[in-house]
Structure 1
Amino acid sequence: MRYWSIRDEDVIDLVKRRYNVTISADQIAKARGFEFRISWKKAIETARAIRFLTIKQAEDYMEKVKDLKAPIPIKEFTRKQAHHNVPWDGWPVAKWPVKVADSFLQVLRNLESNASYRGLNIDNTVIVHASASRGMRIRNYMPRALGRATPWFQDTVNIELVAVELPAELVPKKFSWARVLKAIK
Structure 2
Amino acid sequence: MRDESKIAKAVRYDIPVSIKYMREVVSVLRGMKLKDAKTLLENVVKLKEPIPFRRYHGKVSHKRGLADKYGWPAGRYPVKAAKFLLELLENVEANAENKGLDKDKLVIIHIAAHKGITLKRYMPRAFGRATPKFRRTTNVEVIVREAS
Same fold (TM over 0.5): yes
Q: Residue in 2 aligned with 1:153? A: 134
Bigger strand share: 2
Matched, 1:26 2:23: no
Matched, 1:44 2:23: yes
Residues of 2 paired with 1:101 and 1:41: CA distance? 13
Q: Any unmatched runs of 5+ in structure 2?
A: none
1:162 to 133, 143, 146: 143
Matched, 1:127 2:108: yes
Residues of 2 paired with 1:76 and 1:150: CA distance? 27
TM-score, normalised relative to structure 1:
0.74
Q: Residue in 1 aligned with 2:93? A: 112
Residues of 1 paired with 2:121 and 2:10: CA distance? 30
Residues of 2 paired with 1:92 and 1:143: CA distance? 40
Q: Relative to 1, partners in 2 of residues 1:156 and 1:25: Cα closer, same or farther, differing over 3 Å?
A: same
Residues of 1 paired with 2:13 and 2:78: CA distance? 18
Residues of 1 paired with 2:121 and 2:59: CA distance? 28
Identity %: 38
How much has 1:85 moved relative to structure 2? 4.5
Residues of 2 paired with 1:102 and 1:40: CA distance? 15
Q: Residue in 2 aligned with 1:182? A: none
Equivalences for residues 71-82 of structure 1 within 5 A: 71-82=50-61
Deviations 1:103-157 (A, max 9, x none): 1011111111111111110011100111111100011111223443222111101
Q: Residue in 2 aligned with 1:3? A: none
Q: Residue in 1 aligned with 2:120? A: 139
Asked whether the 8 Å contact 2:30–2:109 carries over to 1, the reply is: yes
Asked whether the 8 Å contact 2:50–2:63 carries over to 1, the reply is: no
TM-score, normalised relative to structure 2:
0.91
Q: Relative to 1, partners in 2 of residues 1:87 and 1:77: Cα closer, same or farther, differing over 3 Å?
A: closer
Q: Relative to 1, partners in 2 of residues 1:132 and 1:87: Cα closer, same or farther, differing over 3 Å?
A: closer
SS in structure 1 of the partner of residue 49 of structure 2? coil
Residues of 2 paired with 1:111 and 1:42: CA distance? 21
Q: Relative to 1, partners in 2 of residues 1:102 and 1:85: Cα closer, same or farther, differing over 3 Å?
A: closer
Deviations 1:18-40 (A, max 9, x none): xxxxxx22101001111111121
Residues of 1 paired with 2:66 and 2:26: CA distance? 22
Q: Any unmatched runs of 5+ in structure 1?
A: 1-8, 13-23, 168-185
Equivalent AA in structure 1 for residue 108 of structure 2: I
Residues of 1 paired with 2:102 and 2:64: CA distance? 39
